[in-house]
Every structure is written in structure tokens, then in C-alpha cells.
Amino acid sequence: MSRVARFQEHLKTGFMAEAVSAARCRAHAARAEREGLPNLARAWLELAEQKDELAIRQLEAAGQVREGKTAVADALAEDRFENSVLYPKMIRDVEGETADVFKAVVEAQEEHVNRLSELRTALQAAAGDI
């Protein structure tokens, strides 16, 4: 394996670790909020923000943060793949509550696809920012 490939793989692994950890912190914050612990929730959100910053640094170092039009096109392709291939396969492989969670994700992601399509159209029509 070349040094570049190992470098990229390590950045990907580090990014995933921080991104998942940040999401977990947000989930803990939401639960703390529901339990009437706003200070604990705020602390979890601060940690999530810090972890997001670490994840972003690694994503940028890996060359995965692109300019506007390319970023929107990439995100649109990714969400379409997830909705048409990834999640349907997972839904077929599970049942019950887990399948319901994946179905809800697909439903929510349809809104993301619509929003990204709108952004792409707006970017294509704009001379600069939308």
C-alpha cells in the first residue's frame, strides 16, 4: 500500500471516529434536555462542536471539502445512492423497529434530495452566492 493511500485511510478513519462521536454527543445532549438537565445538555453540545471541528479538519486534509457546485452535486449523488441502493438493501435485511427507522431515514432524506436539487439549480443560475 502506498503512503498516500495509508494517509487517506487514516484520515477517513479519524474523520469517521470524530463524526460518530459528535453525533453520539448530540444524542446524549438531546436525552439530557428531555430529562431536564440543560447544563449537561449544553456540555454535551460543546463537546459535539469540538469533535465536529476535528472531523472537519481531517475531511479537509483528505481533500474531501470541495467548492460549492461540486460539493452540492456530490452530496446529491450520495443521498440518491443512499435512498435508492443503501437503505433499501438494509430494509430488506432487517425487520420491525430497525426497518422502521431506516424507512423514516429514507423519508427524511427525500427532503434532503429535494433541498440539494434546489441548491444545485440556484447555484447554476447564480453568478456567485445564492
Write a three-state SS string for the chain.
Answer: CCHHHHHHHHHHHHHHHHHHHHHHHHHHHHHHHHCCCHHHHHHHHHHHHHHHHHHHHHHHHCCCCCCHHHHHHHHHHHHHHHHHHHHHHHHHHCCHHHHHHHHHHHHHHHHHHHHHHHHHHHHHHCCCCC
pTM check: above 0.85: no
Give the pLDDT of residue 2. Answer: 57
User: What is the rounded average pLDDT of the residues 109-118?
Assistant: 96
Residue 128 confidence class, pLDDT cut points 50, 70, 90: confident
Give the pLDDT of residue 3. Answer: 62
Does the pLDDT at position 109 exceed 60?
Answer: yes
Please give the Cα distance from 24 to 112 (Å, whole number): 21
User: What is the rounded average pLDDT of the residues 4-32?
Assistant: 95
pLDDT for 46-55, tens place per residue? 999 999 999 9
User: What is the rounded average pLDDT of the residues 55-71?
Assistant: 95
User: What is the rounded average pLDDT of the residues 74-85?
Assistant: 97
Q: Are 22 and 6 in contact (CB under 8 A)?
A: no
pLDDT for 89-102, tens place per residue? 999 999 999 999 99
Exposed / middle / buried, residue 51 (Cβ in 10 Å: 0-12, 13-18, 19+): buried
Q: Are 26 and 44 in contact (CB under 8 A)?
A: yes
Does the pLDDT at position 4 exceed 70?
Answer: no
